[in-house]
Amino acid sequence: MIGVLLVNLGTPDDPGTPSVRKYLREFLMDGRVIDIPYPFRYLLVNGIIAPFRAPQSAKIYKELWEERGSPLKFYGEDVCASLTERLGDGYMVRLAMRYQSPDLKSVMSEMHQANLKKLIVIPFFPQYASATTGSVYERVMEIMSDWQIMPSLSIVSYFYQHPIFAKYFADKAANYQKDVDFDYYLFSYHGVPERHIRKGDITKNTCVFGTCCETITEKNHTCYRAQCHETTRLIAAEMGLKPGTYGTAFQSRLGRDPWLQPYTDETIKKLVSEGKKKILAFSPAFVADCLETTIEVGEEYKELFEEAGGEHWQLVESLNNSPEYVALLEDLVKNS
Q: Which residues are annotated as a binding site for Fe(2+)?
A: 190, 292
d(CA 88, CA 330): 11
- 261: alpha, beta or left? (left if phi > 0; alpha if psi -120 to 50): beta
251 DSSP assignment: E
Binding region: 190, 292
Beta bridge partners of 81: none
Whole-angstrom distance, CA of residue 126 vs CA of residue 134: 13
Q: How far is CA 30 from the centre of its chain?
A: 16
Q: Measuring CA to CA, which residue among 34, 9, 6 is closest to residue 290?
A: 9
Report the alpha-carbon distance of residue 47 to residue 66 in Å, rounded: 31
Residues 188 and 253: beta-carbon distance below 8 Å: no
Cα→Cα distances 160→104, 199, 246, Å: 24, 22, 18
Cis preceding linkage at 15, omega within 30: no
